[in-house]
Amino acid sequence: MDELPRLLLLLALVGVAVTLLGSAVIWYMDEGRRVRRALRNVLKSPPEAVVVARGRGKGAGFSFTSGLAAVAWDSGAWCLVYRIYELVGVEIIVDGEVVARAFRGEPRKALDHLASEASRVTLRLIFDDPNHADFELDLWMAGDELRRKPSTPAEAIQEANRWLARAEAILRRPNAPRAPEPVVAVAAPPPPPAVPPWAPEPDDFDDDEPPFDEDDEPDPERR
């Protein structure tokens, strides 16, 4: 009879441990946390702003500290990194219509109203990159209201509008300065050879006369 309470206690402890371990795994593998970890790794510093498309495994973020912007998909398994000044525009698209936008060098098109009903809300980022020029995050799609954490189109538009304001702060900044032109080093001419102190001055010789007197020929009898 004494073994039964011990067995029940052991089973209870094992159940609590398994529950805690499972909760920790679920917390660690959460889609949003995985995207944020991936962005933090590729940005080389904690990002100042992050947006995550829940249920799509996509996200984007930027860091003023490292001067980088990045996008991620497949829950952070794949990332693309840009220089922060390569971001040239942001658009909020609701049911295929651009309702707000901000582009570098252009006046901002502000959001007029929040749509209470929509089938799709998309945040589109445009970069100065011919290979990967844009990146779309569907912040809300029809059917998202059935998720464990339901949301509404209005909430998705508000989140997109907040990120549009953050991105506009980047677009207002001047472009990165160009690298200075390389300076070509020119070697200094070699110094003239040193003249020995016993060398005669150049003016002491006359080019028309021999360097000795013709009368001073050696006497053959002095041999």
pTM for this structure? 0.66
Exposure class string for 68-100: b at 16+ Cβ within 10 A, else e: bbbbbbebbeebbebebbbbbbbbbbbeeeebb
Q: At residue 69, what are phi and psi to the nearest 5 degrees?
A: -125, 150
3-state class of 193 per DSSP? Answer: coil
pLDDT in tens, 120-169: 999 999 999 988 999 999 998 888 777 766 678 888 999 999 989 888 88
Q: Round to whole Å and give the CA distance between 163 and 52.
A: 11
pLDDT in tens, 12-31: 776 776 666 665 555 445 67
Q: Which long-range contacts (CB under 8 A, 24 or more apart) does 26-35 make?
A: 31/55, 31/57, 31/75, 32/59, 34/75, 34/76, 35/59, 35/72, 35/75, 35/76
Amino acid of residue 116: S
